[in-house]
Amino acid sequence: MLILVSYDVSTESAAGRRRLRRVAKVCLNYGQRVQKSVFECKVNLAQMEILKAELLDEIDEEEDSLRIYRISEPLDKNLMEFGKFKAVDFEDTLIV
């Protein structure tokens, strides 16, 4: 399934900046960054649970906000993207 991981981590403190880096690092293991604090990840149920647990280990629930959405598929019918970044289509043929 396709999920969107979106987070707001306060960068006012060094600890917050460190959390921000670690949250991004976790997400990179599961998918691609499409905006500064937004990742698209392709996961199964088991991977979802592990990703969730890893992210909850990194954020400070008193300070930060984490949202994980399930996105309707196929993505190309349910996403409009404009501007600077164009995401890589997981399903597209990979030209090597």
Asked if 24 touches a copy of itself (CB under 8 A), the answer is: no
Residue 23, interface with a copy of itself (CB under 8 A)? no
In the bound state with a copy of itself, the residue whose beta carbon lies nearer, of 66 and 96, is 66
| Residue 54 in the binding site for a copy of itself (CB under 8 A) | no
Q: Is 8 annotated as a binding residue?
A: yes
How far is it, in rounded angstroms, from Cα 29 to Cα 17? 19
Which residues make beta-bridge pairs with 39? 5, 33
What CA–CA distance (Å, rounded) separates 93 from 37? 27
Q: How far is the CB of 84 from a copy of itself (least distance, A)?
A: 5
